[in-house]
Each structure stands twice: as structure tokens, then as C-alpha cells.
Structure 1
């Protein structure tokens, strides 16, 4: 609830907001967030709606939002992100320029310089990712991302075993990997921009980073069981090298993989 009001204000202030379909999904909050969303939607009941999704996890919320929407291109932000005025129009331009583009992530600026930079991407350089490529961890961020509807359909939607509210982070990255191997190109585009007010400082960011690493291990474990397992092995090796260069622990990656396989075995036996 700390950031929801400001997030909604920024959505309302976007260029052409009155003509943009807005679907707000409350993923089981108990702090008045859903009421604030409902109040926001009264200003434009034709195009704006609030939905309550009681199944925990970002993926469940995202899938519900996609099902309730009608647009060809779907933009995602989190409730602690403040889109700039040209956010929607910038994404519209990006997708109009390339009909083969299936997914992308935009610039994520820190809202407060005192907060951890974890999860931010301030690059001003466009990057294009070819299809059938293993998407690098962190390339797609749920704080500012967009998918073509057909791309999500081809990929199979978000996996409800991943995302905040579940044991494993990384739902946006995981579906992007599947989208790439479904034949869609991806990209990073600096023009669509948000400010990320996550409220985490260094100690909290360390804990969050540990959760992300466990999720990464689970994502790798899932894709080791696919036809692109060789590419997955290569990407795991690259990720381990990046972790070592940062002097970060690699144990959580392996722990996440073990936890993912253990979960699958329990489900298979039940």
C-alpha cells in the first residue's frame, strides 16, 4: 500500500491514459490496496478494471491480468513502479516497428538513490535478442516489461510455480526463455521508462538477491529437462562465472535446482 497510490497517479498521468486499457490485479493483499484500485477504476469504468486474484504468486496474478485484457501487446509493471508520461506510447512504437518482436524489457531507474540498485537497469542502449537463444538472467524484469499476446500464448503463459509469493523467483525470465525458443525475438529498449521505488536498502537487498539466486537455480533446473538443455548448461556456466566475478555465492543456484527437483518429485508421488 506504501506505493500503490503514487503508482496509480502515474498511470493516470500517462499520455493518452483515458484510451488505454488498464487491468489492475490484487494478488491477495489485506491492507486496503484492492479498495484503492477499485476507487481508481471508477474514473474510467469502460477501460479500467480491478481484479482480485486469491491464488498466491506473481504468475497467477499476471495470468489473470492477461486473461482479463484484450490488447495485442500487454505491458506489465509492479505496484512500486512509476511509469513516465510516455511509457505506453514508447512501448507501442517499439512493437509497431518489429512484428517479430515478442517480448521486451524497458529502462528501470532507481526512484531513491539511497535504495539498493538491485533490479534496476539504467542502460540507454537498445539490445536485440535473436530467437532460439537462452535469455540471460536479468534481461527481462517484471518491473517494466511487455509481451505480445500471441508470444505469451505460444510460450504457454507464466508458470505459477515461479514469482514473488512462491518459493522461486524469476517468472518473467522463465517465460521469456520459453518465448525465445518458441521463435520470438526479444529486446531491451530504454525509451519506455519507470522509476522503481522498491524501498529496499543493502541488507534487505542481500536477502532478496539470495531469493533471486534460488529462483535462478530452479529456472535452470526446469530448462535442463527440455530440448534446449545444452544451451541451458552453457548459460549456467556463464552465470556461475558472473557470480564468481562478483564474489557472490553460487550455492543458492544449486540449492534452487535441488529444491525444484524435490518439489517435482513430491508432486509426482502425490
Structure 2
């Protein structure tokens, strides 16, 4: 008996984002593709806001299969690992539950996979879309923490310390089978804004010289709601990023290299802060310094210092 599996599993993990998830699925429902090219897997990570009922009632008309599961272990890494377990595709395309995508989005990924047969990982462009007014206090240099991702102007292999972002990333399923899935100690967990789980996966790929490519035409818009446009949210995210970096450090050399990198970034923070001051953007300068301090504090919170 032969089995016909899709090329791509589109994996969407969600926690208490019913309305955003509904809008995302509405766009995914319009993707132009054939059943043999993709399936859609949605992981409901213990949502209590009516997400399960919304998924049950959603009017799915796409020829692509839609499969929904509940993951009882709380945390984004657990949810993503459940998606890996349930996926039948050769590749898993992770997208966030709060994105806008055009109908040709999936076809662009399919075409790039066909033209890059040795691909192991990939990332697409992410544009930040503010549902409300963009706050003046937010420093543009920190746009990547909101999901902004456009490291290269054209298709390009990732190099250096640049990695795909989780809102629009693709991984060959075999990679997870051979090297392990997402570290459940990393990543968001309920209201805890941890991070580093995607970087952890792609850093391992680079150590193995795996082909990881960026494709600018595979573009999404990442929605930023009002609840995320607060100083407190940004600082909690910075703290979580620092704590995640500490977990990823395996030895004293890793800690030394992290501190060295942060020394460089502190100098960059001073430079950008001065530029914002010259432009009269005093709140942005304050947030930029507070962000860097919160990240470092998060790193050392893991050591008890």
C-alpha cells in the first residue's frame, strides 16, 4: 500500500487568541494550493476563551485538510512539538495565530521548496502590522521583538547570527526526528514571555551546516494588538529573552560569549539612544535602555545573581 503525504504541514499553535486565530484561519482558508501540497494543523494549547468552539464551528472550505488538536502541556514549545508529532508533511511551516497572509503565500513556499531541493530550514519576510496606533515611545531598532524580519532583499542563505523568526519559519520534519524537537524549557508558557526556542533549533542546524534560506516573497503581516503595546509587556518580553538565553548556555564559554555580545549591544544601545535624544524622542531612549537592562537581568535571574 502506498501513502500520499503532503509536502507541507502548516502548523498554527494558539493560546487564548480566538479572534486572531479566526482571522488567520480565514486567510489560510483562501490559500491557493492542492491537497497533495499541504495540510493545516491547529494546536489549541489549553485555551479558555472559546477557541475550541470557534474551531468546531469554523466554515472550512479549502481543499486542504484541517486537523485540530488540544495539547494539555502548557507552553509554546509543547504545542509546537505536538504539531511535529501530528504533522504528515515533509516540511512543517510554522506560522503565528495572529497574522495576515495573501492567497499566494503557500504557493510561494511550495515553489521555493521545489527550487531548493537541499533545504532543511527556511524563513519568510514578516511585516509588523499595528492594529492600533504605533506608540511613539517604541524604539524602531527593537522592531524585531514585534516580529519584523527582512534580513535580505532577495533569496539568500542565512549567515552569521541571523535566524528565521518563529512567526514564519519552515523546518524539514526529518530534522526534528534526527536532532530533537523544541526545548520545552524555552519559549512562551501561558503569560510567561520566554524565548529562544527557535534560535536553539536553527543554531543546531548551522552547527551541522544545514541549508537554511530566507525567501522575501513568502511574506506575512504580524498583527500587534493593543495588549502588546505597553512598556510592561516589552520589559517582560526582554526579561524572558534573557532568561531563555541563559538556559541555552551550556558552559562558561557560552556565558562569556553572551556577555561579550551584550557589551557590544550596550554600546549600540547608547548610540541609538543618543540618536533618539537628538530627535526629541526621549521616551524611546528610556525604553531602549530599560529593555537592555531587563534582558540582562533576565539572563542573570537564572543564576541567582
Q: Shorter-chain-normalised TM-score: which range? A: 0.7 to 0.9
Q: 1:238 to 1:195 in 2, by over 3 A?
A: same
**TM-score, normalised by the number of residues in structure 1:** 0.80
Q: Which residue of 2 aligns with 1:186?
A: 212
Say if 2:145 is the partner of 1:128. no
- Asked whether the 8 Å contact 2:35–2:64 carries over to 1, the reply is no
Q: 1:238 to 1:194 in 2, by over 3 A?
A: same
- Structure 1 residues without counterparts, runs of 5 or longer: 263-270
- The match for 2:147 among 119, 144, 153 is 119
Q: 1:33 to 1:185 in 2, by over 3 A?
A: same
SS of 2:188's partner is coil
- The match for 1:146 among 157, 167, 170 is 170
Higher radius of gyration, 1 or 2: 2
- The match for 1:30 among 42, 48, 69 is 48
Q: Which residue of 2 aligns with 1:7?
A: 24
How many correspondences in the alignment? 256
1:149-160 equivalent positions in 2, closer than 5 A: 149-160=173-184
2: CA distance between counterparts of 1:209 and 1:246?
18
List per-residue Cα deviations over 1:146-172 (Å, max 9, x = no partner): 111123334421111222224522322
- Structure 2 residues without counterparts, runs of 5 or longer: 1-17, 136-142, 274-287
Q: Which residue of 1 aligns with 2:197?
A: 171
- Asked whether the 8 Å contact 2:45–2:74 carries over to 1, the reply is yes
SS of 1:61's partner is helix
Compute the displacement of 1:82 (Å).
1.9
Compute the RMSD of aligned alpha carbons. Answer: 3.0
- Asked whether the 8 Å contact 1:224–1:233 carries over to 2, the reply is no
Compute the displacement of 1:208 (Å).
3.4
SS of 1:176's partner is helix
Compute the displacement of 1:251 (Å).
2.0
Q: 1:162 to 1:245 in 2, by over 3 A?
A: farther
